[in-house]
Amino acid sequence: MRGARQVVAAVLAVVLVPLLLGTAEAAGIERVKKAGVLRVGSDITYPPFEFMEAGKPAGFDVEVAQEIAKALGVKLEYVNTAWDGIFAALKAGKFDMLLSGITITEERMKSFDLVFSEPYFESGQGVAVRVGDRRIRRQADLAGKVVGVQINTTGQAAAEKVKGVKEIKKYEQLPEAYLDLKARRLDAVVADYPVIVANAKEDGKFTPVRGLQIGEPERLGIPVRREEADLLAVVNKVVRDLKQSGRYAQMKQKWFGEK
């Protein structure tokens, strides 16, 4: 999903978190409960994970965040912030955690001294094209094409590994890339496949290339500062409980049209 370069296997997050939790004090949980609010940072321009609806944040990630805040017994404050710089903002203490369609990466852990929850969603990079455009059916067809991506995402990283791409245009927000695709300034957009599917249903003028995945499968996680890794005990329990209760499948069906 939206992320940096190197995707880490889910087992890395699953192994690292328990080790960190075993040594970390309850710094994060205690601080959040004392404040009475859970501040979640997100670039709220990424439906169906997060977007503004009737003036309020909505989407799959927002529902997950609501459940985490409920488990902590605090209010939720979803803070909209630009994607470029969102991890530095977390490290600086502007949020308690991030929920923004984020791929687990080793680079991010090292660069910003963060730790991730267990994976809560699995995805991969897909390709969007204009409706009726059948020039791109496989990865090799991207050669000689102009491709749009959201800047500093795993979509950008995946597109950069495709041989022969004529140009990669980088956008601050994914909707900007879709606009250029429809205006024929792009031949394709590389982004998270489930996001493309959901966005295409709403728009109707572009469509995912069915069966085409660029790069390796990706796993989303919820990052926090390393010194507040205790928060992940709550996060992981909430995700497990959602899956065991059947609510998780209902949420996926609601926002992505799949279980």
Model pLDDT, residue 19:
43
Tell me the CATH number at 200. 3.40.190.10
In a domain? residue 189: yes
Residues 164 and 102 in one domain: no
Model pLDDT, residue 218:
93
Model pLDDT, residue 257:
83
Residues 35 and 96 in one domain: yes
Residues 128 and 149 in one domain: yes
Model pLDDT, residue 10:
40
Model pLDDT, residue 3:
55
The three-state secondary structure class of 1 is: coil
Model pLDDT, residue 174:
94
Paired tokens of 79 = 């803070």
Question: What residue ranges in the chain does DSSP mark as E strands?
Answer: 37-42, 51-53, 56-58, 75-80, 97-98, 114-116, 121-130, 146-150, 167-171, 188-192, 206-208, 214-220, 223-225
In a domain? residue 4: no
Residues 197 and 245 in one domain: no
Other residues' Cβ atoms within 10 Å of the Cβ of residue 70: 13
- How far apart, in whole angstroms, are the C-alpha atoms of residue 112 and residue 82? 17
3-state secondary structure 151-210: CCCHHHHHHHCCCCCCEEEEECCHHHHHHHHHCCCCCEEEEEHHHHHHHHHHHCCEEECC
Q: In this structure, which amino acid lies at residue 119?
A: P
The three-state secondary structure class of 77 is: strand
In a domain? residue 71: yes
Residues 142 and 160 in one domain: yes
Paired tokens of 60 = 């799959």
- How far apart, in whole angstroms, are the C-alpha atoms of residue 123 and residue 170? 21
Kind of pairing between the strands at 121-130 and 214-220: antiparallel
- How far apart, in whole angstroms, are the C-alpha atoms of residue 151 and residue 42? 15
Model pLDDT, residue 259:
60
Instruction: Give the position of tokens 């927000």.
Output: 173
Upper half-sphere CA count for residue 189 (Cβ side, 13 Å):
35
In a domain? residue 204: yes
Domain span at residue 157 reads 124-216
pLDDT in tens, 73-94: 999 999 999 998 999 999 999 9
Residues 158 and 243 in one domain: no
| Tens digits of pLDDT across the chain (259 residues) | 665 444 444 434 444 444 444 444 578 999 999 999 999 999 999 999 999 999 999 999 999 999 999 999 999 999 999 998 999 999 999 999 999 999 999 999 999 999 999 999 999 999 999 999 999 999 999 999 999 999 999 999 999 999 999 999 999 999 999 999 999 999 999 999 999 998 999 999 999 999 999 989 999 999 999 999 999 999 999 999 999 999 999 999 999 887 6
- How far apart, in whole angstroms, are the C-alpha atoms of residue 252 and residue 120? 11
